[in-house]
Amino acid sequence: MEAAEEKYTPRAVKKRRHWVAFRRLLGLFGVGLRLSGLYQRGVRNALDIKLKRIELEFENLPSEFDGFRILQLSDPHVDFLAGPFDTALELISGERVDLCVLTGDYRKRVSGPFEHILPAFEKLVARSRARNGIYAILGNHDSADMAEAFENLGIDVLINETRSLQRGEAQIHVTGTDDVHYYYTDAARVALETAPEGFKIALIHSAELADVAAGAGFSLYLAGHTHGGQVCLPGGIPIITHMSCHRRYASGLWRHGSMTGYTTTGIGVSGLPVRFNTRGEVVLITLRCC
Ligand SMILES: [Fe+2]
């Protein structure tokens, strides 16, 4: 699938040809930004990431997991713009969390070598203070070969599989899928539909499987991919989301049926090293019983 230059989405297989036109448009936009003097401001915006803390309440969360803390890091694209990933590491230093989750898009390009980005993740593993370790899923910029390389660093890569976490007698379940924006297969749907009963968290690079996860009884869906639009209209309204469906879930908190979702604006950027009207972030989620 990586070699095919096609997009395998939950709804159709499409050619990725639009990327040529998209890159030309990006180039023109970059020239426009430089001519208008806004380029450096956009770069400064992209470097200015924050730690966002949110608390989410669930009726079906086992009381043993009340206060469970999940750190979500997404879309670092570490080899594109130097700075945001190191800032993210500083922002999370000293934070004791239960689980760290990485929700995809680790490099700049969508193909080619990736070994040069591994030292950044080695640094993350060394600094992580997550009691239950680090789970990762792949995004549409990632190669399937990265899974083994990440696992060698001590990161547990979930490709259409589920891990269960225990506190006393209680369990919660975390299901991670392969990327569903370029590399969707029915294995992603099956992984969600066959996850154990109980409190379930889905880690999926984009929010494009919200309907499937909600139908399968997931309580929480964590996604990234969009960079919150990266270049938005005033008020944070995204112009481009790179989503084939569920575009209203492109940023922030959302609900689909009885499931809560959160789409992070992510750490890094792609295309151009700028942000406007959206801020990059690391997310610290505390689960609460209600
Ligand atoms: Fe992505």
- Give 194-206 pLDDT, tens digit per residue: 999 999 999 999 9
Q: With bands split at pLDDT 50, 70 and 90, how would you rate the model's confidence at 15?
A: confident
Q: Ligand 1 center to residue 181 CA distance, Å? A: 7
Residue 60 CA to ligand 1 centre (angstroms): 31
Distance, CA of 51 to chain centre? 15
| 260 CA from centroid of ligand 1 (Å) | 21
**What's the CA-to-centroid distance between 159 and ligand 1, angstroms?**
16
Task: Tell how far the Cα of 75 is from the centroid of ligand 1, in angstroms.
Answer: 7
Of the candidates 173, 271, 260, 168, the one whose C-alpha atom is nearest the C-alpha of residue 226 is: 271
- Domains in the chain, ordered, with CATH? 6-289 (3.60.21.10)
Q: How far is the CA of 265 from the centre of ligand 1 (A)?
A: 11
Mean pLDDT of all residues in 13-33: 82
pLDDT, tens digit, for every residue of 227-258? 999 999 999 999 989 998 999 999 999 999 99
Overall size of the chain counted in residues: 290
* Distance in Å, CA 180 to ligand 1 centroid: 10
The confidence band for 17, taking pLDDT boundaries of 50, 70 and 90, is: low
Question: For residue 225, how far is its CA from the centre of ligand 1 (angstroms)?
Answer: 4
Task: Report helix, strand or coil for 218.
Answer: coil
Average pLDDT over residues 154-171: 98
DSSP classification of residue 209? G
User: How are the residues of the chain apportioned to helix, strand and coil, as percentages rounded to the nearest 5?
Assistant: 30, 30, 45
> Residue 85 above 80 pLDDT?
yes
> Tokens representing 271?
């295309």
Find the mean pLDDT for residues 26-51. 95
Tokens at residue 66, please? 């009340």
pLDDT of residue 23: 83
What pLDDT is stored for residue 177 in this prediction?
98
Judged by DSSP in three states, 153 sits in: helix
pTM given for the model: 0.96
Please determine, for residue 18, whether its predicted confidence score (pLDDT) is greater than 70. Answer: no
Alpha carbon of 208 to ligand 1 centroid (Å)? 11
The CA 171 to ligand 1 mean position distance, Å, reads: 30
What is the Å distance from ligand 1's center to 167 Cα?
33
Distance 287 CA to ligand 1 centre (A): 26
Distance of alpha carbon 111 from alpha carbon 12, whole angstroms: 21
Take residue 76 and report the two structure tokens written for it. Answer: 């670092």
267 or 6: which carries more pLDDT confidence?
A: 267
- The mean predicted confidence, pLDDT, of the chain is 95
Q: What percent of the chain has pLDDT over 90?
A: 89
For ligand 1, the distance from its centroid to the CA atom of residue 104, given in whole angstroms, is: 7
- The set of residues, in sequence order, having a beta carbon less than 8 Å from that of 177 and lying 6+ positions away, is 137, 158, 159, 160, 187, 188, 191, 192, 202, 203, 204, 205, 209
Strand 252-256 and strand 6-8: the pairing is: unpaired
pLDDT greater than 80 at residue 182 = yes
Measured in angstroms, how far is the CA atom of residue 166 from the centroid of ligand 1? Answer: 31
Distance 105 CA to ligand 1 centre (A): 5
CB–CB of 183/206 below 8 Å? no
8 A C-beta contact, residue 235 and residue 215? no
Instruction: Sort 153 into a burial class: Cβ within 10 Å, 0-12 / 13-18 / 19+.
Output: middle
- From ligand 1's centre to the CA of 145, what distance in Å? 17
Give the pairing of strands 161-167 and 170-176.
Answer: antiparallel
Locate all alpha helices (DSSP H) within 16-172, ordered by sequence: 18-36, 39-47, 84-92, 118-127, 146-153
The Å distance, Cα 277 to ligand 1 centre, comes to 19
Residue bearing tokens 């890094």: 268
Alpha helix ranges (H) inside the chain: 18-36, 39-47, 84-92, 118-127, 146-153, 186-193, 210-215
Inform me whether the pLDDT recorded for 6 exceeds 90.
no
